[in-house]
Chain A
Amino acid sequence: MRENARPLAAVHYYYLLKSDEEDLRLLWNSLTGGANLQTGSPLASTLPELGLSGPEKTSGRCQIIQKFDGPDGDFCLCQLSDMSVIEVTYWKHDEPLESEWLRVADAIEADRDRLLSGLNGVFGETTLLVAPANTGFEAMVDAAARVDGAALQTPLDPAATGAGPALLVHFPDLAADGRDYYALAADDPGPFSATMLPEVDSLIKKLGRSASYFEIQRQTVVSERADVDRQVGDLLHRQIISDADAAPETEILEEQIAALSRLFGLLATDSLLVRQSSDRLSRDIKLLNQELALLASKDSTDETGRFYLSRFNLDLAEAETELRNLDFSRQNAQAAIEVVRTQVEIMRAGEEAAIQKQSKEILSSSLVLQEERLALQVAAGFIEFVLIFYYVLKSWEGIAGVEPVEHISPLLRLLVIGSFSASAAVGTHFLAMAIQHRSVKSVGLWISAGILVLAFIAMELLTIANS
């Protein structure tokens, strides 16, 4: 029992997040009438002096920071890993159990509104009604029978609680707005009520909050997933329709890929969120399981544990189901992206084939043109040769006179004028190429020029010889 060995009637717990320091200070001051709240090193080392020497394991995690004995109740501030707990202890007056509990319940309710009005809101509250073990079991069973709803019984392990035979009854159907109700029958509930219950209870509250938060998150994710599934279905349907009529533009398909990729990203983000929630639930359920296993008697059924574990495991199963659904939707989106991408690739391949065909046609046309140009060049060269031949002959006759020219052998005349005309025609071609390439390093040009000069000299010599 606690300090002055007075039996407990009830304990009311206020749970606050560690981050809500100002609310903690306000609530502590309101409860204690302004007793200074000491912060800093926990007073865990003083536990034995306070009569709170619970098992080392639990007292090590739920540490008492400060105590204050008031005229109507005692107050204790404890620290959990991420939460602060203010415990208000109500001592037993020598009244019958039921009237005792009613008195305490009235006392708690009387002050609640005043205490909580200036606060942002506490994380949760719990009322623990206590009865002596010898009379309490029957009384609690009677009380449980009168409660409208379930009364879950958990016999506590005397070795773990250090409190002798004890029975904890939880009333889950009375829970509302973060408030829970328990009843305990035990001869020495001190260690259990001071340090052990807050640990388990805060864990159940946190899990309840996480599960509720996850449920809202899950509903949003389910709605988003349904929307994504619909959009993916619409896009694929449009693919089928467009296949039936005419092939869509590549740009439209690329826009569809972008839209599908965005949806895929949305599903991936949702999966991450659900995975995080699922991991958190799984971790906390495991922790709760461990805590309950420490508390509950090994020889009997822990109804409270069974109730909460099955409830939270159901939430976990829903998370796992949703993860599978998200994976399935993500695979659908991925498949849709592949379908549209393949279509784009097919279209691009078709376009490339058309371009190649066009290139071949252009190449063929170019070859035909080249052949035609060559034929024209040959024809033009021949005409040029004939014209030069004629004019050279006429010019030779005009300059040297018809008679001397006629005395020259026709074969020799043909050879000389033919050589002159051919070298002139071919030389013109080489000259044009030399101008085009800005170079006179053309063997053909020089040979042509040489033949031209030799033919000219031959004409001169033949004229002189026949004059």
Chain B
Amino acid sequence: MDVIKLMEEAIENERHAVDMYRQGAEAAEDPETRSIFEQLARWEEEHEKILRERLATLKMIRGQL
């Protein structure tokens, strides 16, 4: 499988995870649960950001080759 497609899928998965944790945070009945979901969502957002940066760099490098 092409690594760019794979990374795009990974980014999509991270996006879904962020949405899921955000929904979890909204539906949380106590502050502690909400805080955990928010933390998880932030982690996934960070992963998504890293993946996007790597993807852009990879595209740039491939474009130069």
Contact = CB atoms under 8 A, between A and B. Distances in A.
A263 B56 CA distance: 31
Contacts of A120: 11, 52, 55
Nearest to A20: B59
A353 B50 CA distance: 63
Contact of B60 (A17, A121, A177, A216): A17
B57 interface: yes
B42 interface: no
Nearest to A122: B56
A67 interface: no
B16 interface: no
Contacts of B52: 120-121
Nearest to B50: A216
A280 B64 contact: yes
A216 B59 CA distance: 16
B61 A17 contact: no
A210 interface: yes
A209 B64 contact: no
A25 interface: no
Contacts of A210: 57, 60-61
Contacts, number: 38
Interface residues of B, number: 14
Interface string B16-59: 00000000000000000000000000000000010011111111
Contacts of A19: 59, 63
Given A121-B56, A210-B57, A213-B57, A18 B64 contact: no
A121 B59 CA distance: 13
Interface string A115-128: 00000110100000
A206 interface: yes
Interface in A49-75: none
Contacts of A290: none
Contacts of B49: 177
A75 B41 CA distance: 36
Contacts of B54: 213, 216
A119 to B, nearest CB: 10
A218 B53 CA distance: 17
A82 interface: yes
A20 B54 CA distance: 14
Contacts of A213: 54, 57-58, 61
A451 to B, nearest CB: 95
A206 B56 contact: no
A82 B64 contact: yes
A123 B61 contact: no
Nearest to A178: B53
A280 B65 CA distance: 10
Which of A18, A19, A212, A280 gathers most chain B CB within 10 Å?
A19
Contact of A82 (B11, B55, B63): B63
Nearest to B62: A19
B57 A18 contact: no
A209 B57 contact: yes
Contacts of B56: 17, 121, 123, 209
Interface string A200-240: 00000010011011001000000000000000000000000
A13 to B, nearest CB: 16
Contacts of A206: 60
A17 B64 contact: no
A213 B59 CA distance: 12
A280 B55 CA distance: 18
Interface of B: 11, 49, 52-61, 63-64
11 contacts: A17-B56, A17-B60, A19-B63, A82-B64, A120-B52, A121-B53, A177-B49, A178-B53, A209-B57, A213-B58, A213-B61
